[in-house]
Amino acid sequence: MFSNWFKKKEPKEPPILKPEMLEPVEAPISTADAKRIFKEWMVRIGHFADNDRINGIDTLSLSMHADYMTDQIKEHGELLREEASVAKADTADEVKELKESIRELKGLLAKCKDPAERAEIEAEIAESQHDIIQSQNDWSLRAKALADFKADKREFLVDYINRQVHGPQWREKL
């Protein structure tokens, strides 16, 4: 008779956090801001609450988890810095080798009389010049990723929170 009144409510799945949900949207998020936002979001969606003793989790757990997230931010920054450094060194070596190759090809081109062979050498020179540009672009993309990460932790924070709440395949739920 009263069974409808005392039914347990199914727990709703928390929403997926999106970058535009973090306001102001145009303001960059620092590591300290990311830590504060992480704590607020996790309490808001019910993963951690003031009275979480029922679930065996206290506010110390939330602080420890936020500290762990801060460590992950630092590790991610170091990884990006290392990748950019390696890419810069690799690019310098590759560009040096390609420029040397172009010099040799231009020497061959100056001595070459056969039009078909000249066309082949010119194509190799053009390909090497393209490879130089591509290599420099690859490095600049890594450097830009590092600069963007240093300036704003928004994307990292959104990904981290969603991985914690919804699992590693959270993007499939979008």
Could you state, in order of their start, the residue ranges of all structural domains in the chain? 27-173
- Residue 54 CB neighbour total at 10 angstroms: 7
Mean pLDDT to the nearest integer, 9-30 = 83
pLDDT digits (tens, 9 = 90+) for 25-68: 889 999 999 999 998 888 888 777 655 454 555 567 888 889 99
Q: Are 154 and 19 in contact (CB under 8 A)?
A: yes
Residue of 66, 7, 13 whose CA lies nearest to 37:
66
Mean pLDDT rounded to a whole number for the chain: 86
- C-alpha distances (whole Å) from 53 to each of 47, 64, 164 are 12, 16, 20
Does 111 score more than 60 pLDDT?
A: yes
pLDDT digits (tens, 9 = 90+) for 150-168: 999 999 999 999 998 888 8
Does 3 score more than 50 pLDDT?
A: no
Residue of 44, 131, 59, 61 whose CA lies nearest to 96:
131
- Residue 66 CB neighbour total at 10 angstroms: 18
Q: Would you state the structure tokens that stand for residue 15, as one six-digit string?
A: 């929403």
Report the C-alpha gap between 123 and 117 in whole angstroms.
Answer: 10
Q: Are 7 and 130 in contact (CB under 8 A)?
A: no
